[in-house]
Amino acid sequence: MKLSTLVDRISGEGAEAWDIHTKAQQAAAAGKDVIVLSIGDPDFPTPAPIIESAVNALHAGDTHYAAVAGRDKLRDAVANDFAKRSGTPCQRNNVFIFAGTQNALLAASLCVLEHGDEVIALEPMYVSYEASLQIGGATLVRVAQPADENFRPNIKRIADAITPATRAIVITTPNNPTGVVMRTDELQSIADLAIEHDLWVISDEVYADIIFTGTHQSIASIPGMADRTIIVSSLSKSHAMTGWRIGWTIAPELLTPHFDNLALCMLYGLPGFVQEAAATALTDQRNASKDMCEIYQRRCDVVCAELAKANRLVVLKPEAAMYVMVDVRGYGMDSAEFCRALYDNTGVSVLDAGAFGQSARGWVRICFTISEQQLIEGCRRITEFLRTR
Ligand SMILES: Cc1ncc(COP(=O)(O)O)c(C=O)c1O
């Protein structure tokens, strides 16, 4: 039977990188001695008051269709929270509730990009961007942020990539996998380009609450940018709520009716009890991420200190998020080979960062989403594995 051409556009690369992770997860489920350092899913439980909020809503019969754009209470909570943190005015009508950052990104892509358009994304980039940004027929233009520039945005290279077909620039700050937090001057330069060339900026801010050094600033807070920025974010990382699938866009109001049409086809509204829980997360539980962030920071320090024992590894200390990037080429292996050999010899799974783009070839991404003791054991196995090489 004939399939649509869409199926090609959504079949991105990088599948091989996940093979080891999948194997490791299956082995862990079977009780084998493996240490999974390959997935960015917080190990913390969702804070209890958030769960209670959902359970109470369920018991109260909140099991029916909910407003497609999201409940007013939750949209207001997202708008108020963003306005307070960024100092940028934001109203309910700027907010649309989606099933996580991923779903919000898809909606943004489908509503602003189409055949004939080019979309610039800075790589290394999150693995699903390739498919999500090209799904509507646009062409992805990757702009490298190489390791020897500490994976920071290179404004000249972004400017050079802009053509008359460019419709949008996609940024991720804080970044997965590099942990880079964009500085005000970098955001301002990207904003200048967006304004000069009349471009959208899609800004993935899912790690905004997990910052170790520096501060998170949204590009939407730069004068002239709120009208052309679509922020995509969620509670997945900030409140350890990956499985709840709750996130949002913050965007110019003109997009709201179009998001509404799309979400009607795609979702028909998110579960009401999940929205109640999300509203609790953004109000009563707003500071829950602070404690998690402190723990992540400690774990990050532990991983960096442990891996420093392997003197041919180059470890890039992240400014944010939940990953450490490590250059393994000093041991004469490329990153894919390293990940395979490491897993086969030690049961430790890490991710080949090359899956995030060419700029990260030779690097692996290590997640610190497990306990400190397990991290120490994982790092011990890594350094032991390298001792004889
Ligand atoms: C940069 C980035 N964007 C989006 C996502 C997806 O997040 P969500 O669970 O909110 O859909 C992730 C998940 O790891 C991510 O790292």
Cα atoms found within 13 Å of the Cα of residue 342, Cβ hemisphere only: 32
Per residue in 37-88, pLDDT (tens digit) is 999 999 999 999 999 999 999 999 999 999 999 999 999 999 999 999 999 9
Q: Which of 171, 204, 236 has most ligand 1 atoms within 8 Å of its beta carbon, as the pocket-test mutant?
A: 236
Checking DSSP bridges between strand 166-172 and strand 351-352, what pairing results, if any? unpaired
Q: Ligand 1 centroid vs 328 CA: distance in angstroms?
A: 25
Cα–Cα dist 108/111, whole Å: 5
Does the pLDDT value for residue 279 go beyond 80?
yes
Q: Which helix (H) or strand (E) holds 127?
A: none
Residue 15 has what pLDDT? Answer: 63
Residue 375 has what pLDDT? Answer: 97
Does the pLDDT value for residue 23 go beyond 70?
yes
Residue 271 has what pLDDT? Answer: 98
Q: Ligand 1 centroid vs 33 CA: distance in angstroms?
A: 28
User: Confidence band (pLDDT; 50, 70, 90) for 11?
Assistant: confident
Of 166, 177, 173, 159, nearest to 139 by C-alpha is: 166
Ligand 1 nearest-atom number relative to CA 247: 10
CA angle 41, 42, 43 (to 5 degrees): 110
Cα–Cα dist 50/278, whole Å: 7
Return mean pLDDT, the chain. 96
C-beta of 359 in contact with ligand 1 (< 6 A): no
C-beta of 102 in contact with ligand 1 (< 6 A): yes
User: Confidence band (pLDDT; 50, 70, 90) for 389?
Assistant: confident
Pair of tokens at residue 25: 């997860």
Please name the residue ranges forming H helices in the chain: 6-9, 15-29, 48-59, 72-86, 100-112, 129-134, 155-161, 184-196, 256-266, 272-282, 288-307, 335-346, 372-387
Angle between helices 100-112 and 256-266 (to 10 degrees): 120
CA angle 309, 20, 370 (to 5 degrees): 55
Residue 265 has what pLDDT? Answer: 96
C-beta of 124 in contact with ligand 1 (< 6 A): no
Does the pLDDT value for residue 13 go beyond 80?
no
Q: Ligand 1 centroid vs 236 CA: distance in angstroms?
A: 7
Residue 100 has what pLDDT? Answer: 98
Residue 14 has what pLDDT? Answer: 58
Q: Which of 39, 102, 151, 234 has most ligand 1 atoms within 8 Å of its beta carbon, as the pocket-test mutant?
A: 102
Residue nearest to atom 14 of ligand 1 (CA): 40
Per residue in 127-180, pLDDT (tens digit) is 999 999 999 999 999 999 999 999 999 999 999 999 999 999 999 999 999 999
Per residue in 200-216, pLDDT (tens digit) is 999 999 999 999 999 99
C-beta of 322 in contact with ligand 1 (< 6 A): no
Q: Ligand 1 centroid vs 103 CA: distance in angstroms?
A: 9
Ligand 1 nearest-atom number relative to CA 172: 1
C-alpha Rg value of the chain to the nearest Å: 21
Q: Ligand 1 centroid vs 199 CA: distance in angstroms?
A: 23
Ligand 1 nearest-atom number relative to CA 104: 11
Q: How many C-beta atoms lie closer than 10 Å to residue 211's C-beta?
A: 20
Mean pLDDT of 10-22: 78
**β-pair partners for 249:** 96, 232
Of 302, 352, 299, 353, nearest to 321 by C-alpha is: 299
Q: Is the dihedral of CA 102, 22, 127, 46 positive or negative?
A: positive
Residue 70 has what pLDDT? Answer: 98
Whether the CB-CB separation of 364 and 379 falls below 8 Å is answered with no
C-beta of 247 in contact with ligand 1 (< 6 A): yes
Residue 10 has what pLDDT? Answer: 87
Residue with the larger pLDDT of the pair 388 and 190: 190
Residue 36 has what pLDDT? Answer: 96
Q: Ligand 1 centroid vs 235 CA: distance in angstroms?
A: 10
Q: Which of 175, 176, 267 has most ligand 1 atoms within 8 Å of its beta carbon, as the pocket-test mutant?
A: 176
C-beta of 38 in contact with ligand 1 (< 6 A): no
Q: Is-cis flag, bond preceding 318, omega within 30?
A: no
Per residue in 321-360, pLDDT (tens digit) is 999 999 999 999 999 999 999 999 999 999 999 999 999 9
Of 288, 284, 369, nearest to 46 by C-alpha is: 288
Cα–Cα dist 258/1, whole Å: 32
Q: Ligand 1 centroid vs 345 CA: distance in angstroms?
A: 30
**String of b and e for 182-192 (b: at least 16 CB within 10 Å)?**
bbeebbbbbbe
Of 44, 74, 97, nearest to 266 by C-alpha is: 97
Cα–Cα dist 363/315, whole Å: 9
Complete domains list, the chain, with CATH? 6-45+288-387 (3.90.1150.10), 64-282 (3.40.640.10)
C-beta of 203 in contact with ligand 1 (< 6 A): no
